Amino acid sequence: MILHLIAYEKFTEDYIKRINRLFDESEHLFLVFGEKPDNDIKSVSAKNVVYSRDFSNRVSCGLFLVRKIMAANKVIIHALFLSDIYLRLLLLLQPIAGNKYFWNIWGYDLYNAYWDREKTAKREKLRIRFIRKLKAVGYIPGDYEFLCKHYMTDAKFYLASYSYDFFTPEVDVSEEDKQTVNILLGNSATEECQYEKAIDMLEKYVDKPIKVKCVLSYPKENQKYREKIMEYGHKKLGDKFIPLVDFMTYEKYTELLSGIDIAIFNHNRQQALGNIASLLYLGKRVYINPENGCKGYFEQMGAKVFSTENLSETDICKSDCIELKDINRKAIDEFFSDEQFKERWRKIFDEKY
């Protein structure tokens, strides 16, 4: 049995459904942690899915976790988001079950933890002890390089991916939008987006026919930062700065992306992978900060992306480059295909660490 420990996130449903479709459902068990973040993020109704919120308390959930770890052939840890009590359980069992552990690194639980070590000293000590004993990790090569440099691990690396529902929506484009260069900025109300630097970058083009749509809808609790960026954006770009503060369904968000001409992701760490993949599939020009590990990830799969460092006035224009669309659609289709998804995860599930 393969035990998956995964957070309640936007792509959790698609990942579980795809694993159940491509592998034997009876051989996988998903323990989903956290409260449901939004009504538009669906629960998965499947026999092999258990939600931590359905346990009466953390003790009963912890006992369930221990039993399942001991019975499992592999334990796939989708990010170290786990609260201290569950992380301590994993650490306690590591001497006897550690060869089962596989950590699929998510950006926020690597970079943020490292940069904020002083703020989270006790938890970071736990994480370091746990990370340095791991035999196998995965997801993005750039993150693995960061891990090796800052956490001194000799864990084996496996390329991994998640599941995204790519499609091209039919959208009516207004006459105004046809004349406007629509720019998407970032993907969340988090400091890693480096919005102020990106806004400064765009200020010199404020006289051009642009609209800058800045994503600030998630997470909801970052209200102070959201208001700060809204004030800064309006100050620098006036009414050409359009903050997006309401959560959208996946379908509505994809409709928004389909009307974008240029997307700018100025993150200083790995973030926004799903957004970038969707935009490349839709044939959009995507500019990524070289510090974001996603840039190398997409380049290695054959996609054409651009560096935020090279954004110039000639780039701020309407463009309908068929060659770019064809290259990126092909790269996304091939990399995220059922065949490649299954082969990547088969290796992670089957190989001994």
pLDDT value at 171 more than 90: no
As a three-state string, the secondary structure of 165-216 is CCCCCCCCCCHHHHHCEEEEECCCCCHHHCHHHHHHHHHCCCCCCEEEEEEC
Same domain for 327 and 342? Answer: no
Q: Are residues 206 and 310 located together in one domain of the fold?
A: yes
pLDDT interval class at 45 (50, 70, 90): confident
Q: Is residue 170 part of a domain?
A: no
Crossing angle of helices 338-350 and 12-22, rounded to 10°? 80
Q: What is the pTM of this model?
A: 0.88
Tell me, yes or no, whether 182 and 116 share the same domain.
no
Same domain, 341 and 239: no
Residue 97: helix, strand or coil by DSSP?
Answer: helix
Q: CA separation (Å) from 173 to 180, 259, 318?
A: 11, 7, 14
**pLDDT of 41:** 47
> pLDDT tens digits, residue range 292-342?
989 999 999 999 999 999 999 888 988 777 889 999 999 999 999 999 999
CA distance 139 to 157: 8
**Band of the pLDDT at 175, cuts 50, 70, 90?**
low
Residues 145 and 222 in one domain: no
Q: Which residues form the domain of 293?
A: 175-332
Considering the domain architecture, whether residues 264 and 300 belong to the same structural domain is answered as yes
Give domain status of residue 169, yes or no.
no
Residues 204 and 265 in one domain: yes
155 and 210 both lie in a single domain: no
pLDDT (tens digit per residue) in 86-126: 999 999 999 999 999 999 999 878 876 777 777 678 888 89
Query: Residue 281: which H helix or E strand, with range?
Result: helix 273-281
Handedness of CA 115, 119, 120, 121 (dihedral sign): positive
Q: What is the CA radius of gyration of the chain?
A: 21
- Higher-confidence residue of 167 and 352: namely 352
Distance CA 199, CA 196 (A): 5
Is 244 a member of any domain?
yes
pLDDT tens for each residue of 18-36: 999 999 999 999 999 987 6
Q: How many domains does the chain have?
A: 2
CATH code of 64's domain: 3.40.50.2000
Rounded CA separation 33/22 (Å): 23
* pLDDT tens-digit series, residues 47-93: 999 999 889 999 999 999 999 999 999 999 999 989 999 999 999 99
- 236 with 288, same domain? yes
Token pair recorded at residue 315: 């780039």
Q: Has residue 168 been placed in a domain?
A: no
Answer yes or no: do 188 and 217 share one domain.
yes
- For 255, the enclosing helix (H) or strand (E) is helix 250-258
59 with 88, same domain: the answer is: yes
